[in-house]
């Protein structure tokens, strides 16, 4: 038979576990629609949740300007997501890269005065602001971070045509 000394910890253990479960559930409350509204000029990281047109959406990948509900970049959620600290971080806009890359990187040419045509645009390549690529016989400059967005597409524009890429200042 169990003594009273042994019975007390056994009785307290379920109460302790129950209290810990409640405190962790209280930390993860549903997200507020007003604080999570979609903004077309904001960058969203993969997993970020937004509220748009009465519906919750989750970003499948980093994006900006792609409206939830009409593009593959967003997945419709059945209910409001829980806003714990990890979700709050995902909801914050992704920082715009501050590094500008002008000219052609990685060509092995150490002479910055020699102008060369940028590499061909690749679907699987990620480009930062200021990156140059050749596509359709033209040179294009990335005006926002892009991954898989073809130069010349309008929704939203990620590239601008460059008339004379050799006149651009090269960063050393």
Give the 3-state secondary structure of residue 88.
Answer: helix
Distance separating alpha carbons of residues 102 and 104, to the nearest angstrom:
7
pLDDT confidence band for 78 (50 / 70 / 90): very high
- 141: tokens are 């400059």
29-91 and 96-172 in the same fold: yes
Q: Does domain 29-91 have CATH number 2.10.10.90?
A: yes
* Structure tokens, 149: 């967005």
Write out pLDDT tens, residues 122-156. Answer: 888 889 999 988 888 888 999 989 888 888 887 77
Q: How many angstroms separate the CA atoms of 131 and 42, rounded?
A: 20
Residues 6+ apart with CB under 8 A from 49: 31, 36, 56, 57, 58, 59, 77, 81, 87, 90, 91
Segment 30-74, tens digit of pLDDT: 788 888 888 887 888 888 889 999 999 998 888 877 888 887 789
Element (H, E) at 6: helix 4-27
Where do the structural domains in the chain lie, given as residue ranges? Answer: 29-91, 96-172
Please give the CATH topology (third level) of the domain spanning 96-172. Answer: Seminal Fluid Protein  PDC-109 (Domain B) (2.10.10)
């Amino acid at each position: 038979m169990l003594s009273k000394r042994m019975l007390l910890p056994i009785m307290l253990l379920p109460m302790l576990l129950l209290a810990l479960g409640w405190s962790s559930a209280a930390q993860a409350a549903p997200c507020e629609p007003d604080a999570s509204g979609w903004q077309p000029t904001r960058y969203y990281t993969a997993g970020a949740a937004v509220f748009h047109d009465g519906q919750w959406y989750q970003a499948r990948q980093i994006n900006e300007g792609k409206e939830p509900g009409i593009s593959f970049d967003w997945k419709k959620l059945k209910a409001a997501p829980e806003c714990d600290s990890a979700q709050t971080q995902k909801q914050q806009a992704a920082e715009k890269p501050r590094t500008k890359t002008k000219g052609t990187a990685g060509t092995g040419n150490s002479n910055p005065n020699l102008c060369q045509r940028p590499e061909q645009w690749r679907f699987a390549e990620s480009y930062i602001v200021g990156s140059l690529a050749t596509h359709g016989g033209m040179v294009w400059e990335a005006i926002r971070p892009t991954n898989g967005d073809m130069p010349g597409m309008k929704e939203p524009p990620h590239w601008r045509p460059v008339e004379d890429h050799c006149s651009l200042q090269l960063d050393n």
